[in-house]
Amino acid sequence: MGKTIIIALCSVLALPTMGCNAPRGAAVTSEILGGAADPAATFAVVSVSKTNLHQIADWPGLPAPGYRWLKGGRGAAGTVLRGGDTVDLTIWDSSENSLLVPPGAKQVAMPGLTVSPKGTIFIPYVGEVVVSGASVDRAREEVQARVAEVSPAAQVVLSAQAGSQNAVDLVSGMQRPGTYPMPDRDLSVLSMLAQGGGIAPGLRNPIIRLIRDGQTYQISASRLLENGSLDAAMRGGDKLLVEEDDRYFTALGATGSEKLIYFEKDRITALEAMSIVGGLSDTRADPKGVLILRNYAASAVRPDGKGPPKTDVVFTFDLTQGDALFAARAFSVMPGDTVLVTESPLPAAQSVLVSLATLLGLSKF
């Protein structure tokens, strides 16, 4: 019987060398990082700690965590005339033989005067008057002064309707998209969203995008609602749209889930990513082998430590160490990263023991 036990034990211990390893759901750390020391390796391994955390954050080749947004603030009250606006003009003149008013009449209406691209309106016998950049009251005063040169007794009434440069386009992601005139320059992003009926329901982590002068600025709706100081003033010609956040990272290995994970907020840390994917598997995960795989542009590679040592970098975290835990709490996961939790060697050892017990006929115990 003793001889049988020895033979069985030798057979089980020989399984790894025979390529008969127990089935696993993920690789162990040594399998992934084993070739990193080879000068010909195509990837680099960087152990993340509080010591090198800020240095890594300054490496080039990646966008800053989160989104770029405008400086908050409010605009000046009142409408400012711009090219494309429409001006309605009425001139009152009781003078005899007035050049501006028809014979026998006391007034003349000039509706629908379009502000030209160079910022002027044309008035017969007066010529071109610059009104762009002026408020409605200031534009009336300017027209009044020019009309007085022709007819000192004349009085001017002026009103305006916003054109494309004094309107905002609500493109998508709102209840009532469309083109909305700006009643004044004190119209904020949240006020404009309210005019459009608010953000459409059902959008995952909605992102507000504002297009201005060929530049796109973005912020998550939750962040804007939490911080009123970020509520930026709108400008004529702005385009506003709300879309789902399309940034993601991938979770693999011994985690609570293996799938593509969309960002739930502007910035996600490594520790938050662990929480989002359901944490580490109690029976499978190796807390010393949490890895984040990232690709950098070739132009970002630096041998002096001021950039990634290679284009492909594996960041490692030992979550059994306090220093690494705090580093993981501050390390930003970037869009496109892969968060990989390696398999603990323990489950494989347990499988070997189960196999041994089976061969010895002890499984019923």
Domain's final residue, options 139, 161, 183: 161
Whether 112 maps to a domain, the answer reads: yes
User: Same structural domain for residues 108 and 170?
Assistant: no
Question: How would residue 154 be classed by pLDDT, with cut points 50, 70 and 90?
Answer: very high
Q: Does residue 189 have a pLDDT over 70?
A: yes
Band of residue 61 on the pLDDT scale cut at 50, 70, 90:
confident
Report which listed range, 77-86, 184-193, 250-259, 333-342, is most confident. 333-342
Same domain, 271 and 320: yes
Q: Sorting pLDDT into bands at 50, 70 and 90, what band is 26?
A: low
Reported confidence tier of residue 280, pLDDT bands at 50, 70, 90: confident
Number of domains in the chain: 3
Residue 352 has pLDDT above 80, yes or no: no
DSSP 8-class letter at 202: T
CA proximity to 12, closest of 347, 360, 355: 355
**Last residue of one domain, picked from the residues 116, 142, 161:** 161
Residue 104: inside a domain, yes or no? Answer: yes
Residue 52 scores a pLDDT above 90: yes
Q: Please state whether the predicted TM-score (pTM) of the whole model is above 0.75.
A: no
Q: What is the CATH number of the domain that holds 345?
A: 3.10.560.10
Question: 125 pLDDT exceeds 70?
Answer: yes
Mean pLDDT across 35-44? 85
Residues 179 and 201 in one domain: yes
Domain contains 116: yes
CA torsion 141-147-152-154 (nearest 10°) is -80
- In this structure, are 144 and 200 located in the same domain? no
My answer on whether 280 and 340 are in the same domain is: yes
| Whether residues 332 and 280 fall in one domain | yes
**Is residue 353 scored above 50 in pLDDT?**
no
Average pLDDT over residues 152-159: 92
Strands 259-262, 248-253: parallel, antiparallel or unpaired by DSSP?
A: antiparallel
| Residue that finishes a domain, picked among 140, 161, 182 | 161
Environment class of residue 63 by beta-carbon count within 10 Å: exposed (0-12), middle (13-18) or buried (19+)? exposed
**Residues 237, 239: Cα–Cα separation, whole Å:** 7
Q: Please indicate whether residue 13 or residue 300 has the higher confidence score (pLDDT).
A: 300
**Is it the case that residue 8 has pLDDT exceeding 60?**
no
Domain containing 176 equals 165-244
Q: What are the residues facing 43 on neighbouring strands?
A: 312
Range in 15-29, 125-139, 141-155, 262-276 the model is least confident about? 15-29
Contacts of 324 (CB under 8 A, 6+ apart): 48, 49, 317, 318
Q: Give residue 194's pLDDT.
A: 94
Q: 152 with 225, same domain?
A: no
Nearest-angstrom CA–CA distance, 317 and 69: 32
Name the residue among 206, 205, 192 with its Cα closest to residue 235: 192
State the pLDDT at residue 210. Answer: 95
Local confidence band at 18 (pLDDT 50, 70, 90 cut-offs):
very low
| pLDDT tens column, 215-271 | 999 999 998 999 988 999 888 889 999 999 989 999 988 776 778 999 888 889 999
In the chain, % of residues over pLDDT 70: 83
33, pLDDT greater than 70: yes
Instruction: Report pLDDT for 237.
Output: 87
**Choice between 21 and 290, residue whose per-residue pLDDT is larger:** 290
Least confident range of 104-118, 143-157, 351-365: 351-365
Express each pLDDT in 328-338 by its tens digit. Answer: 999 999 999 99
